[in-house]
Structure 1
Amino acid sequence: MLKKITLVSILVLFSSLIIYKVNTPKNTDAAVIVVKVLTWDLVDSGKHLDWGGSSKYSTNLSSGATVWNNYKSGVIRPDTASTLQDVTISDYYEVSSTAGVTSSGGTLKFNDYKMSGYDSTKKKNVAMHELGHALGLAHNLSGDVMYAYVSTVVTLSFNDKASYDEAYRKY
């Protein structure tokens, strides 16, 4: 009975997260790239993530989208009259440690309580991180944009790219 309960607990814990480890040789040392993707994403069937809405942090979002699009061109783009909006961005105010949140329901929200105190680099990190969730990426390691905590990382790591590659294959 205990084994069954433990197995069920483990399955529930990882129900929205898929983890891959890929061994990649680097010279004579083996480096481990950690790929983490969610079971959901907000990318449409045309492999686009069209965003619209209103936020104080739209400039940071655009800047973050540029970094992701420099890796895979044209995926993230502002909504237009001829596209369906996949993600609605907005702001909210809540006294908490959360800077932003992206939901499987198609929302990406910035918490003004935290964001207003950040410099432009941290704002861009949060925007990139939340866009990563919209792309289907899960939290990863420190040094990654997809690290679970706000940082000054604004370039894609090997883990970020490998996770994005895996998520992109499934769109």
Structure 2
Amino acid sequence: MIVAGLISTPGVANADQFRNGQWIYGSIEREFVRFLNPDNSSRIGEPNTGELLAGSDQRGRWQAFGFDTNRIVWSPDVDQNRGRQVGGFILQKWLTYGNRPPSTQQPVVSSDERGRLGYPTTAEEQAIGGRYNNFQGGAITYQNGALSAYATWGDIRNQWAQSGYESGQYGFPSSNELRCAQQPGSNGTFGAAGQLFKNGTKYITSGVATSFGGNPSNRYEHAVDTNTMQLPMRGTTKYQTNLDSGVNQWNSVTAGKIAINQGAPANVSAMEVRDVNIPGGYVGQFNGFTRTLSFNDAYMASLSTQNRNHTAAHELGHALGLKHSCETQLMTPINSAVQIPNSLDRIVFNEIWAGF
């Protein structure tokens, strides 16, 4: 018997192929032959599984190649005749994206074709400086040299598309889609989405009524003396170590723009730092009208060092004029252990104070 794989012509689909001890059939085989070299070697590796069921309804099929560095995935809802290849960092990202909407806090229950992105609708294609696959629910894009690929979908993807995708003002995506505060005063809830892009100074938001960045007229009340460009403080707190951590973190961001100073004399208009004990109240709070920064001993005392540092740095962010923003950032509206201003925190700070 002649083994089909040995007489396969690159780019020409045969009924079946037998390679590396596995059969490659039908629609998956039709995609596989597109990746054969003239010497009949495969650019996506040899099959290391048989054809397996795909999809929650098991109507689809998939097969792994190159020790699962590539997959060919087929769905009758995408193309009756040919599967689609997904590989590398794009495959890795696709296998981790679940179907939890970004506006909820429900756990991820599935990924791959069962997740939010669904089945691939293209094989991996060339982007300007990278690669991408389109999927039923969006796309995953990879920039050459990056350590991860990232997905875009929905309104954020539409805005990115209108700007010219990776060749436009935003460049490649540089974060997963983030759950964000719907309103700047949101406390403990997310109702919108945001995403960072490679430009380094750009982000796109979706469903946000009031941006968490913007110009100075769109910021929170702050404690900055705009004449001296300082944030002076006085008062005492038992959480001084945590406050010092926050001051050091923000001074590394605001250097050259705003100096945060402690020990302001009585004749200087300054933000008062104090401790309170209010069971059932907040953990930490900056009040822009009274220019006070309060730590609530009813809760602060039982927090970890990381959470105390977060509270101090987060409230200092409000004192600098920043609103609540997104998960993974210091200005998240959800209590967290993030202790340092991250990418979006820095972008928003620079937006607020760009004109000073």
Count of matched residue pairs: 151
Q: Quick check: 1:41 aligned with 2:222? A: yes
In the alignment, what sits opposite 1:143?
328
Is 1:25–2:171 an aligned residue pair?
A: yes
Moved more, 75-84 or 100-109: 75-84
Aligned pair partner of 2:263 in 79, 98, 117:
79
User: How much has 1:170 moved relative to structure 2?
Assistant: 5.2
**When the two structures are superposed, what TM-score results if normalisation uses the length of structure 2?**
0.39
Of structures 1 and 2, the one with the larger relative CO (CA 8 A, separation 6+) is 1
Once the 2 structures are TM-superposed, how far is the Cα of residue 167 of structure 1 from its aligned partner? 2.1
CA contact (8 A) 1:51 1:89 kept: yes
Q: CA RMSD in A?
A: 2.7
Shift of 1:82: 9.0
Look up the match of 1:88.
272
TM-score by length of 1: 0.77
Question: Partners of 1:108 and 1:170 in 2: how far apart?
Answer: 26
Return closer, same or farther for 1:83/1:112 CA change in 2, 3 Å cut-off. same
* 1:59–1:27 CA distance, 2 compared to 1 (3 A): closer
Whether the 8 Å contact between 2:220 and 2:323 is mirrored in structure 1 is: no
Which shows bigger deviation, 78-87 or 45-54? 78-87
Q: Provide runs of 4+ in structure 1 moved above 4 Å.
A: 27-30
124 and 28 in structure 1: CA distance in 2 versus 1, 3 angstrom threshold: closer
Who is 2:73 aligned against? none
Larger Rg: 2
What is aligned with 2:236?
54
Query: Is the 1:101–1:109 contact (alpha carbons within 8 Å) kept by the matching residues of 2?
Result: yes
Unaligned runs of 5+ in 2: 1-158, 161-168, 176-195, 198-202, 206-210, 214-218
Shift of 1:24: 2.8
| Contact 1:144-1:156 within 8 A present in 2 as well | yes
- Among residues 316, 326, 347, which one is paired with 1:131 in the alignment? 316
Query: Which structure has greater helix proportion?
Result: 1
Match 1:100 to one of 279, 284, 304: 284
Mapped to 2, the partners of 1:27 and 1:70 lie a distance apart of 25
In structure 1, the gaps of 5 or more residues are: 1-20
Change (3 A) 1:26 1:78: same
Structure 1 vs Structure 2: percent identity of aligned residues? 26
Deviation of 1:52 after TM superposition, in Å, equals 0.9
What secondary structure does 1:52 align onto?
strand
Deviations 1:133-156 (A, max 9, x none): 000000011111111122111122
